[in-house]
Structure 1
Amino acid sequence: MPSNAAQTMVFGPFPPRRWPWLAAGWLAGLLAWFLVGLPHLEAGANPQQPSARRSPARAAAPAQAQPAGRQPQAKPAAKPQAKPQPPAPSPARPPAGRKAEKIPPPEEISGGDLITRDGVTLCATFYPGTKGKESVPVLLLHNWKSSRREFATLAPQLQQLGCAVLVPDLRGHGESTRKIEVYRGKPREVKLDAAKFRGTEFAEIAALDMAALRSFLLNKNNSEELNLNKLVIVGSEMGAAVAMVWSAYDWSLPNYEHAGIKQSQDVKALVLISPRWSHPGLDTAAVLNAKGLSPVRDRLSAMILVGQGVSEKARDAERIEGKMVLNRPQPEALIDRTVLRLAFDTTLQAEKLLNLPPLNLSAMICRFIEERVIKGETNAGWMKHQ
């Protein structure tokens, strides 16, 4: 088995304040390529290539082909060179060679569709899948004191793969701050503030919020809009801890799939961004140190992303990876590994790491989910759930 060091890919350096200069250099290079007539870049042909968001020079290319170096005759004398304008926000284009599909618009979910057992109204955005009951569901869980907005880039890209993507504001965050409770026999509204959370509130996220989110996905599964049996959870720091703890619970429940009754063991892959070894109210260490076979530790595909510029975060990620690879082989080819840790030469973590433009982590995550679940989980067929 290769050592942990051999299992790690390190990327960098990408200092947090130098990426605008890197992006400017890329733009200048792309523009030069166009002027000498090099082939047009096709963003998305390979998920690990830069996306359209990283190549705004594409939007500045003329609609009609012109010989290299020739200027339009009607062009008046003006500034020597105009800066290319960034493209307007738009849905990601399908990868080259893939048939374009009609992408349904995202839906805002709240109210009766997402109320927890203790009276918290969760708000979320749902991106419907495009593959019917073969759509892989992806649940995106944000960091502490963050919101679902941190996945504004990743969620549409996952939808382009055909995934059904649910992006909630967890209790006390974003728009999910309203709780109705009974006090002296009468209902009253309580305002939740994540900044004041302690261990109990974090545990309630893993237990109660996740139950409500699964119920929403279960209904979508039973209406044949997705395949809950291929669930993927992406978690950012706090969200990563929630993902590990809830996945362990999901795999601890009995499953009667042989009898046509599916009620558990749905999680097939985890993407952990800046995961912590231990989090208040969320005992991830117990999940990773469990005696005997632990599906989360020993079976599920896992991608671990971390900025190695913070030693504590880097150590936690390496420690988690070490536990996950202990009882399974690690092939030499990265694409064949069921556990993949990527360390980047930056101090940025969680949502800031995810959305650092030079890294384009969204494309890496999409590729991992496509290879490990969409293509790799061939035995996880659709079933009605309860």
Structure 2
Amino acid sequence: MISRGKLVGIGLYLVATFGLSVAISNAQTRGRNARVPEPEDIVLTTKDNVRLGATYYRSTMGKEAVPIVLIHDYKEGRTVFNALARALQAPSDSRLDSHAVLSVDLRGHGTSTSAIDQTGQTITIDPARFKPVDFEDMVRFDMEAVRKFLVEKNDSQELNINKLCLIGTGMGANVATIWAAVDWAAPPLAQRKQGQDVKALVLVSPIWRQKGLPLVNALKQPDLVKEVSVMIIYGSENSRAKQDAENVFNNFERYHPDPPIDQVRELKDLFEYPLPTTLQGSKLLIDPRFKMLAAIDSFLKARLSDKSYKWISRGVNE
């Protein structure tokens, strides 16, 4: 069995050796030279009447597009992902895939600070006053509004929700993990596909005991820990962040054995990136020293773009 040090090394080796050059050399050309649409600011309304600000970056790949949801940290907002979202939608090299990206302000954050109460009055949402149930509602209501939007775009052939990736930072990493567990726990329906759409997670500085969003129960969902490809990124010079990330990694590791070295690109589906810094969360994605965009591009290419997850019409209006 490959040691942990070698495991991390393999992850870095993939970026250095395969990296974008492999993604480029293997890339299909359809859709990559099309004009990239401008980002579209939208509002998603949850079942409990919270208005969520979001930005949709439509892909040029149509129903072949990998959809990516960007989920921010506590007291941040979707604007922190502007550059990353644009780079994923419109890569600088035209031979790379254009992804369909949705960045969203979770309740109480960014522009998502208002809701309609039972009397029809507008109320303001203050995250500083959140109780555990308010964080739980990010999964129960906010992410379900996101899912509804993606299903609509799937059925209009703008993306393939069956290749869904969630990228979350800090609190957002917890929201992503817990909602992925919900997605994989959804019972199958006779008439249409339901759930099992999340195929990849990029978790940046996950928090083991985040208020209202603890990870322990989500990581007991058997299909999540077995079936989903995972990349975990954290600043290793913060001992607490390191321990939290390693707790998450260990829960996935037992179900993702290391492939033979000559099959790493095709089969490896769990990656750990301990970066030599005290920085955490979105700062790790933004700081050019860490080259995380290249690592994420390689991960998405190997685990989603090059995989034959079938596009399926959901045929549902919710």
TM-score range, shorter chain: 0.7 to 0.9
Segments of 5+ residues of structure 2 without an aligned counterpart are 13-17, 91-96
Q: Which residue in the other structure is 1:25 paired with?
A: none
The answer to whether the 8 Å contact 2:162/2:309 transfers is no
1:262 and 2:193 are equivalent in the alignment: yes
Q: Is contact 1:10–1:345 with CA below 8 Å preserved after alignment? A: no
Counterpart mapping for 1:84-123 below 5 A: 100-110=33-43, 114-123=44-53
Contact persistence 2:174–2:207 (CA under 8 A): yes
- Residue 153 of structure 2 is matched in structure 1 by 220
- 1:153 match: 83
CA RMSD after TM alignment: 2.4
Cα shift at 1:3: 3.1
Please give the per-residue CA displacement for 1:303-345, whole angstroms capped at 9, x wherever unaligned: 0001101011111111211110102311255534211001110
Distance, in Å, in 2 between the alignment partners of 1:320 and 1:3 is 17
Counterpart residue type for residue 254 of structure 1: P
Look up the equivalent residue of 2:39 and give its one-letter code: P
Q: 1:354 to 1:245 in 2, by over 3 A?
A: same
Q: Does the Cα contact within 8 Å between 1:157 and 1:366 map onto a contact in 2?
A: no
The Cα shift of 1:381 comes to 3.0
Given the alignment, which residue of 300, 306, 310 partners 1:380? 310
Letter in 1 for 2:45: I
Q: Find the counterpart in structure 2 of residue 127 from structure 1.
A: 57
Aligned pair in 2 of structure 1 residues 251, 123: CA closer, same or farther (>3 Å)? same
Q: Which amino acid aligns with 1:236?
A: T
Counterpart of 2:94 in structure 1 is none
- Shift of residue 266, structure 1, vs aligned partner: 0.7
Of residues 53, 60, 70, the one that matches 1:140 is 70
Trace 1:13-24 onto structure 2 (pairs within 5 A). none
Following TM superposition, where does structure 1 have runs of at least 4 consecutive aligned residues deviating by more than 6 angstroms?
none
Indicate the SS of the match to 2:290: coil
Deviation at 1:100, TM superposition (A): 2.5
Deviation at 1:97, TM superposition (A): 9.9
TM-score (norm 1): 0.72
CA distance in 2, matches of 1:205, 1:47: 34
Match of 2:247 in 1: 319
Q: SS state of the match for residue 199, structure 2?
A: strand
Partner residue in 2 for 1:168: 104
Take 2:208 and 2:124, find their aligned partners in 1: how far apart are those partners?
30
2:284 to 334, 353, 359: 353
Taking structure 1 as reference, are residues 224 and 100 closer, same or farther at Cα in structure 2, changes over 3 Å only?
closer
Is the partner of 1:268 in helix, strand or coil?
strand
C-alpha change, 1:47 and 1:241, in structure 2 (3 Å) is: same
Corresponding residue for residue 52 of structure 1: none
Name the TM-score, length of structure 2 as normaliser: 0.87
Report the CA distance between 1:260 and its aligned residue. Answer: 5.4
Rg comparison, structure with higher value: 1
CA distance in 2, matches of 1:252, 1:97: 34
**Letter matched to residue 107 of structure 2:** R
Q: CA-to-partner distance for each residue in 1:227-285, whole Å, 9 max, x for gaps?
A: 111111001011110111111111111124xx551121111000000112221111311
Provide the rounded CA distance (Å) in 1 between the counterparts of 2:100 and 2:257.
Answer: 31
The change in CA–CA distance for 1:11 and 1:312 in structure 2 (over 3 A counts) is farther
Residue in 2 aligned with 1:19?
none
**Corresponding residue to 1:191 among 100, 124, 134:** 124
Equivalent runs, 1:262-281 vs 2, <5 Å: 262-281=193-212
Contact 2:163 2:309 in 1 (8 A): no
Tell me the number of residue pairs that the alignment of Structure 1 and Structure 2 aligns.
Answer: 297
Greater helix fraction, Structure 1 or Structure 2? 2
Contact 1:227 1:383 (8 Å CA) reproduced = no
What SS does the aligned partner of 2:211 have? coil
Number of the residue aligned with 2:20: 47
Mapped pair 1:306 → 2:234: yes
Q: In 2, Cα distance between the equivalents of 1:209 and 1:105?
A: 24
Give 1:312's aligned amino acid. R
Opposite residue 237 of structure 1, the aligned amino acid is G
Say if 1:211 and 1:318 are closer, same or farther in 2 by CA, change over 3 A: same
Residues 10, 301 of structure 1: alpha-carbon distance in 2 compared, 3 angstrom cutoff:
closer
Unaligned ranges ≥5, structure 1: 13-44, 50-94
1:222-261 matched pairs, under 5 angstroms: 222-256=155-189, 261=192
The 10-residue stretch of structure 1 (115-124 or 277-286) with the greater mean CA deviation from structure 2: 277-286
**Percent sequence identity over matched residues?**
37
Compute the displacement of 1:369 (Å): 0.9
Match of 1:203 in 2: 136
